[in-house]
Structure 1
């Protein structure tokens, strides 16, 4: 592991924890303060790039604007279809951000139909080593290739760019149809330099769907990327990983900097992430809604992940490397095909997962394909992790945990609530290759869960499902008060309502007006 992951100074961890807790209360945390607009320019399909770029005489191409404007300017793009790839060749400055946006109340569409995906770095929007930029309100679509060696990307940010905001964009039908070796992305942030990083990135309010990704991901941060915020995005109906935070793939030239780190992933809805029809997976279903592969010091909170191959996965695909110091808190994971949470390397040739906190999450009827992973799947080499204050509601398998490796050390499991149709005596837990039937047998053999309970959590509605607690729920006031669990629950309500934290992602509040909107579960064949 890089040296900085072996010893993390206490003051840095404290500062990062406090920063994460303060950010977690804001639904759309700004990266850049709103800056005054110096000049506003306009682009329209019937414009002309020789025009002055006014509302009455707009430019014709977004590329012309991306070559021309200066710090503090705004570009309003009128409704219409623009068949162009745009390379942003300008930067703003602190206090003078450049904004590219659809004209208010309209949608400008970048359509890749008819464009050839080049064999070099590219995107419908491409940003390399630029800074203080906002892209907002665009639709990006139909950027495809049949060549497995070319990579279509909706928005690609690379180099050592910084202070970049991607807000409220709609990306769909970005596709690589080149077979099992192809790759594509909806949004990709690749930190390819060192020590200079990509930093201060906000990805908020975007929708990404119907992407054919091959071996890649819908929304990915890879390499030397830090201080990022990924919030309020809707990622769905894609054939590979929804949100991915990656390290140690050689993206950055120095391995000491080659990992996504120090960020927030919050308030996203991710569903129907499925590799079943992806030719790169040969019929396997193994993509997570949210995946940390070698990242560190990241908070994942208040997300809803359902109907995906796995809910969230914390792993490292590279031997001798690790995913570390990840906090997963106050999330709903339900009706996923495999486990709600998987941790550790997927085989003994992979890396480890350590010093991660799994706190106050609600897991409901995952492993719908009944692989035998249960709600929580512990894989190779997990150590020094905490699994505390969670609520696990199993499906008819009545299987809570699976663990087919003995490389499982110093993992703390306690203050959880379990419930399954088979009841307390017939439900099953796996631990270090052994499987135990009955809650008492499991606790006696493993020493886990001395303060946990087996009881019906009394959700509001099982069929919808609405995973909030009823007033009489035994999960109320049964948790361990931990500052690492954050200050707000799944609905942004205060995490402490009655002096002691509730179990699961919902803190019962009888008068809350801020409960989650639930999307219905639809089983996709």
Structure 2
């Protein structure tokens, strides 16, 4: 009898453990539909009507399935998930879900269609976020706004469009991640961010105390200010010693038609970077394609005495941009600069299309201890390869670069504010290594932007 009791108790304990385990790992599904009702239970057959109601009950382990339709309301995430049980907001199957700001109240401050404030382990996936506009200078309109100490946030496969400020000194963002507290693990992948009027702000921006991020496989286009921006030292973070974006990767993005020209905040300037590091550190920018924008990639700091530091700009394709291909250093002596960074294996093809003398690579103020290595530069209409109009660059190493020699065309190199019309003189002045060459790289078909090297390319021996 005693053995039977022990067996019974053991079986009971096992059953209880299994029940607890099941309850702790149970995933909850909530459904929302435009013909639903918030008095219902949120099941598939009895969906809720509003995102607000769904967010109020979506706790750890919940997936909110949003049925097809237009939702003219804000989505404010109200709870956090956990590492094993995140909270997910996404369309039901492949249905088209639009979150529209068309009829949201216009008021001063930050107005965002989706807000994640001090929440963790949240994914927003597959939504169309659009049509938030303002005429107020004191209102910043935002498609998706993540702030506070929010961490482990994923924005995947969303489409953000037509977020617009029409105020002369206004601000707008498509996606804005503001680390006022300590943020970690921000993932932004496979999104489209397009057709935005941004005023003095950026299409996709990370700013403040953000340590660890990925921005990959996004399409950013047709916006009237910076495409992707990684910022430090603007006073966003409460911890001033950690007020900069760091330890991240920006890769495999396509960025085009990014220009401030005609933006009321800039007039007729061509000053928007496709990808811009403004005071960030320890960031890799690789395998992106940037074209027909003002500046392809820029890395510096707009704050004097601060730097873009340890920035690796590697294997990007940058062509037909209006001002320059890659820019490093401050645009004047009141700005910061670029240090300990690595620019390598990039293809810079006929940038400076507006003849603004930015060339293919622009080296500006306070540029120190950087390596410029194994890049291929093809001169644009200005015929300028390198544009260095400052004398404040120090200890920068140029090696194994290829300057595209074209039949019947001459090149210009500007080094420490001195023009060189011959490659040999530039090579001596810049202390370039012996492998740096002035040859035709022999691209497969540059007219169709196929920048692969042919098998017999002499450049292969230099950069590969």
Q: 2:174 aligns with which of 186, 192, 206?
A: 186
3-state DSSP of counterpart to 2:53:
helix
- Does the 8 Å CA contact 1:117/1:151 hold for their aligned counterparts? no
Cα offset, 1:464, TM superposition? 1.1
3-state DSSP of counterpart to 2:55:
helix
Alignment of 1:16-415 (within 5 A): 38-179=27-168, 181-193=169-181, 197-415=182-400
- Does the 8 Å CA contact 2:406/2:440 hold for their aligned counterparts? no
Q: Distance in 1 between matches of 2:436 and 2:246?
A: 32
Q: Distance in 1 between matches of 2:341 and 2:368?
A: 9
Which residue does 1:467 correspond to in 2? Answer: 451
Which residue does 1:442 correspond to in 2? Answer: 426
Deviations 1:293-332 (A, max 9, x none): 0000000000000000000001110111111100000110
Cα offset, 1:79, TM superposition? 0.7
Q: If the length of structure 1 is used for normalisation, what is the TM-score?
A: 0.82
**Higher alpha-carbon Rg:** 2
Cα offset, 1:280, TM superposition? 0.2
- Does the 8 Å CA contact 1:167/1:203 hold for their aligned counterparts? yes
Q: Distance in 1 between matches of 2:160 and 2:444?
A: 34
Deviations 1:356-381 (A, max 9, x none): 10011110000001111110001111
Q: If the length of structure 2 is used for normalisation, what is the TM-score?
A: 0.93
Deviations 1:378-429 (A, max 9, x none): 11110001000111111243210011111000000110111143668x3211
CA pair 358-445 structure 1, distance change in 2 beyond 3 A: same
State which drifts further: 113-122 or 140-149.
113-122
Deviations 1:427-486 (A, max 9, x none): 21111111111111111233224211111111111211211111111121323xxxxxxx
- Does the 8 Å CA contact 1:317/1:345 hold for their aligned counterparts? yes
Q: Distance in 2 between matches of 1:58 and 1:235?
A: 34
Higher strand share: 2
Cα offset, 1:116, TM superposition? 1.8
Q: Distance in 2 between matches of 1:378 and 1:414?
A: 16
State which drifts further: 155-164 or 444-453.
444-453
CA pair 114-61 structure 1, distance change in 2 beyond 3 A: same
Q: Distance in 2 between matches of 1:125 and 1:417?
A: 46
State which drifts further: 452-461 or 203-212.
452-461
- Does the 8 Å CA contact 1:182/1:213 hold for their aligned counterparts? yes
State which drifts further: 436-445 or 233-242.
436-445
CA pair 36-405 structure 1, distance change in 2 beyond 3 A: farther
Deviations 1:118-167 (A, max 9, x none): 42334110010000000000001100100010011000000000000000
CA pair 36-337 structure 1, distance change in 2 beyond 3 A: farther
- Does the 8 Å CA contact 1:398/1:422 hold for their aligned counterparts? no
Which residue does 2:413 correspond to in 1? Answer: 429
Q: Distance in 1 between matches of 2:107 and 2:312?
A: 39
- Does the 8 Å CA contact 2:220/2:255 hold for their aligned counterparts? yes
- Does the 8 Å CA contact 2:355/2:381 hold for their aligned counterparts? no
Q: Distance in 2 between matches of 1:434 and 1:37?
A: 69
Q: Distance in 1 between matches of 2:165 and 2:25?
A: 40
Deviations 1:233-284 (A, max 9, x none): 0000000000000000000123210000000000000000011120000111
Cα offset, 1:86, TM superposition? 1.4
- Does the 8 Å CA contact 1:338/1:371 hold for their aligned counterparts? yes
Structure 1 position 456 matched with structure 2 position 429: no
The structure whose RCO (Cα within 8 Å, separation 6+) is larger is: 1
Cα offset, 1:73, TM superposition? 1.0
Q: Distance in 2 between matches of 1:314 and 1:423?
A: 34
Which residue does 2:18 correspond to in 1? Answer: none
- Does the 8 Å CA contact 2:218/2:254 hold for their aligned counterparts? yes
- Does the 8 Å CA contact 1:396/1:421 hold for their aligned counterparts? no
Paired residues, number: 441
3-state DSSP of counterpart to 1:63:
helix
Q: Distance in 2 between matches of 1:280 and 1:106?
A: 38
